[in-house]
């Protein structure tokens, strides 16, 4: 599995370099932010660095999501709990762009990246019921989107991706038990994006 992951990353890097090397003299550099919706649930926020070369865009991105929830049971305090969840991804997207109407571009391409998930359930008065889970792995998949330009420097866009994920996780329970497993899944992600080009 590690060899496959390394090949995927090398392929993504080689593709990005091959597509952008002939156009390295004309680069538009930008800064982007996104609101992500993963699989119908919370996907978090992203910060990206879009690089435009002719009709292509290469866009490294870091995204994150962090939440915490406390639940209290006044009549059964041993069931009081805190749930924490974090998700981080580091990825690169490569897209081909084409104008479709004035001020609007369509883009199509793919994304490849690394994701890490952490979640835990803590019972302050019943520590043997505590639970934690760490999961990490890689994802890749096609992306389709559109971008509206208010002017040459500022745009708003929407896109959707169908992502294949391959991850490994470890679950640890308060009694000392733990389980490890591998997971392969297909999920979708939609993103609302704002980009500013310098």
In tens, the pLDDT along 52-64 reads 989 999 999 999 9
Token digits of residue 70: 């406390």
Residue 54, sorted as left (phi over 0), alpha (psi -120 to 50) or beta, turns out to be left
In percent, how much of the chain has pLDDT > 90?
49
Asked whether the predicted pLDDT for residue 42 surpasses 60, the reply is no
Q: How far apart are CA 89 and CA 103, in angstroms?
A: 31
> What does the pLDDT read at residue 173?
85
For the chain, the average pLDDT equals: 85
Q: How far apart are CA 76 and CA 79, in angstroms?
A: 6
Of 119, 95, 121, residue with least CA distance to 32: 95
pTM of the model: 0.76
List domains and CATH numbers for the chain.
2-19+29-197 (2.40.160.70)
Asked whether the predicted pLDDT for residue 40 surpasses 90, the reply is no
In tens, the pLDDT along 85-131 reads 888 899 999 999 999 999 999 999 999 999 998 989 988 888 888 88
Three-state DSSP state, 65: strand
Q: Mean per-residue pLDDT for 29-56?
A: 85
Token digits of residue 111: 């994304």
Token digits of residue 22: 């002939």
Q: Do 154 and 196 meet the contact criterion of CB atoms below 8 Å apart? A: yes
99: β partners: 105
* N-terminal to C-terminal alpha carbon distance within the chain: 40
Token digits of residue 144: 């389709």
């Amino acid at each position: 599995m590690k060899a496959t992951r390394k090949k995927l990353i090398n392929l993504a890097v080689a593709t990005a370099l091959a597509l952008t090397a002939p156009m390295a003299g004309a680069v538009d550099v930008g800064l982007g932010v996104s609101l992500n919706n993963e699989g119908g649930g919370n996907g978090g926020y992203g910060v990206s660095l879009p690089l435009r070369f002719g009709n292509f865009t290469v866009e490294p991105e870091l995204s994150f999501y962090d939440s915490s929830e406390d639940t209290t049971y006044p009549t059964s305090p041993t069931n009081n709990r805190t749930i924490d969840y974090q998700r981080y991804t580091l990825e690169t997207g490569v897209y081909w762009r084409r104008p479709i109407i004035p001020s609007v571009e369509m883009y199509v391409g793919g994304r490849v990246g690394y994701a890490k998930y952490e979640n835990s359930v803590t019972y302050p008065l019943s520590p043997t019921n505590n639970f934690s889970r760490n999961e990490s792995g890689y994802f890749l998949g096609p992306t389709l989107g559109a971008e509206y330009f208010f002017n040459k420097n500022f745009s708003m866009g929407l896109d959707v991706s169908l992502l294949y994920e391959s991850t490994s996780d470890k679950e640890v329970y308060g009694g000392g038990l733990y389980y490890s497993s591998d997971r392969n899944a297909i999920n979708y992600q939609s993103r609302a994006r704002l980009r500013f080009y310098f």
